[in-house]
Amino acid sequence: MDEFVEPLGMRVLIRKDESRQRTRGGIVLPDQAEIPTITGRVVEVSIQVERDADFPIEKYDKVLFHPKNSIPVDFEQDNLLYVVPIEDVVAVFRKSDSPRRRRKPDQDQEHGGGE
Torsion of CA 75, 88, 33, 92, to 10 degrees: 90
64 within domain boundaries: yes
CATH code of residue 75: 2.30.33.40
**pTM beyond 0.85:** no
More confident residue, 113 or 93: 93
What does DSSP say about strands 71-73 and 11-16: parallel, antiparallel, or unpaired? unpaired
pLDDT tens track for 94-112: 988 755 555 444 544 444 4
66 within domain boundaries: yes
58 within domain boundaries: yes
Residue 83 half-sphere exposure toward CB, CA atoms < 13 A? 13
pLDDT tens track for 72-99: 988 767 668 999 999 999 999 998 875 5
The reported pLDDT for the residue numbered 110 is 47
114 within domain boundaries: no
Range of the domain at 78: 1-18+34-95
How many domains does the structure of the chain reveal?
Answer: 1
**Sign (positive/negative) of CA torsion 10, 17, 93, 106?**
negative
Angstrom distance (rounded) from CA 84 to CA 77: 19
